Chains A and B, each alone.
Chain A
Amino acid sequence: MATETLTGPTASERMAHRAAQELRDGDVTFVGIGLPNLACNLARATHAPRLFMIYESGAVGAIPERLPVSIGDPSLVTDSLAVVGQADIFQCMLQRGLIEVGFLGGAQVDRWGNINTTVIGDYANPRIRLPGSGGACEIAVHARRLLIVMRMSKRTFVETCDFVTSPGHRVNGRSRQELGMPGGGPTRIITDLGVLDFDTTGEAVLAEVYPGVTPEQVQQACGWSLRIAPTLRAAPEPDASVLRLLREKLDPKRLYL
């Protein structure tokens, strides 16, 4: 019980917890599967009980009673406020401008927050074929705030994405405003080493590190010359109660942790 010792947080637990901090009570959130789903359910179980979760499969105001194994799990339907067709989700919820927060991850991200989930290598002759956009491209265009959740490595944090599936702050040298994108673009990249914010030009800047992580280590895991904020914040660590919640209640089968 209280005297039981818990092992320290894993990288996934840190990321889920840090991502949950970004969610405010009442936010209308487009929830992806995996860590974003855990982050949303953690936020709802702690500081944001009225988080409003929308899944691109059609569930609106969902409160899943089990951890969904995919974005289209039947537990998203049971107890939802509404279930609508996907055309309604994309037109009436997302394109209409109702989504405050979106979450995305991917195989590659660059300094402007552009994301690649399409191919590694040349599009016509790819070395690796990835799943493609799904709804990611339109989430990146329309969400008022976009959170990117990705583990850091030189392979994933790249100077230039092989393919821009989901646009960030600058695409091929043009800004979101010039391109006429309604949403605000990425606000944070939450990684296993720390958190990157974006400056006024739209470039990612290292702003937080987890305890024991140095800026040099973060630069080592980044494929471009990373800008570092003059004062680094300490990234918040999940305490024992959060770890118990994640491990025992939210993901007991360790699907995503």
Chain B
Amino acid sequence: MNKLCSMREAISASVKHGSSLVIDGFTHLICFAAGHEIIRQGIKGLTAIRLTPDLVYDQLIEAGAVRKLVFSWAGNPGVGSLHALRRRSEASSSERLELEEYSHFGLLSRLLAASAGLPFWPLSNYQGGDIARVNPSIKTVRCPYTGRELATVPALHPDVAIIHCQRADAEGNAQVWGLLGSQKEVAFAARKVVVVAEEIVPTELIREDPNRTLVPGIIVSHVVHEPWGCHPSFVQGFHDRDNDFYVKWEDISRQPETYRAWLEEFVYGVKDRQGYLSRLETGLLDKLRAKARVCAGVDYGY
């Protein structure tokens, strides 16, 4: 079935007021285009879930789209803080965001449980520290075989997962290479999956290299073709991270006024991703475009 549609259609069909949502990616393949479209559509009350909420989650928070954040590490990776998050989570804040906090493996285990159709997942972690003390969802169980006490976390089924990939076919069979993050677990855990791709390719090409497929089309509801949809994040083999932007963001986001002005210009002030890209500095995309490092082919013969 052909599931191709625009980002606007994919977001309005899948993300509702009050949805729980993951825009996944671990520094790599973070779909900023999807976050910006959610802001433009004025969707509110979201429970935003991700191990590493970063700039696009902070932008969703600043725009007032997020009610609750479920996370394990929140920052501007390699640079500094998320300032909208800090403004809404410190004692001085008047409009506090609800936070539910894990370690990376704790939150990942919630997604593993959901993706495996199990009610919880055991892990060897959290002994004695304060994370389990402040998060009542983290409990313990005694192993029925060894008697050992293990931490447990409950399955987490996000309403929607948005997964960016290098290439997909129109049915949503999505191929990813480079850092895989938790894209697979997030996709299998979610009730609805939107795949966003740098390239839409014929199904024959997917079938030629089936080991590369991380998310099968049978769990995908919408497919969006959005090249450069991850800027300023990176896509292995397509473009590098725009690190200058991440560094500059520290200053832009520190003051609510400059933060709002940026959102006005690059999110509210444009119609879609093409509009965003056309506002970037001339020559920037060429500068970020990846140099080729093609690996040798694989023989699938038998």
Contact = CB atoms under 8 A, between A and B. Distances in A.
A134 B91 contact: no
* Secondary structure type dominating chain A contacts: loop
A134 B124 contact: no
B115 to A, nearest CB: 9
B14 interface: no
Given A134-B73, A179-B127, A86 B182 contact: yes
Interface of B: 26-28, 51-52, 71-75, 77-78, 81, 85-86, 89-91, 101-106, 108, 112, 123-131, 134, 148-149, 177-185, 234, 236, 240-241, 243, 246, 290, 293
Contact of B101 (A78, A95, A118, A171): A118
Contacts of B131: 118, 133, 137, 165
Interface string A78-111: 1000011111001100110000000000000000
Interface residues of A, number: 57
Given A58-B26, A90-B104, A133-B104, A172 B74 contact: no
Contact of A84 (B103, B180, B236): B180
B178 A172 contact: no
B27 A141 contact: no
Contacts of A180: 127, 148-149
A165 B128 CA distance: 10
B179 A167 contact: no
A133 B101 CA distance: 9
12 contacts: A70-B27, A72-B179, A74-B28, A74-B290, A85-B180, A87-B184, A118-B101, A124-B134, A126-B91, A141-B124, A163-B130, A167-B129
Contacts of B105: 90-91, 94-95, 135, 138
Interface of A: 33, 56-59, 69-74, 76-78, 83-87, 90-91, 94-95, 114, 118, 121-129, 131-138, 141-142, 163-167, 171-172, 174, 176, 179-182
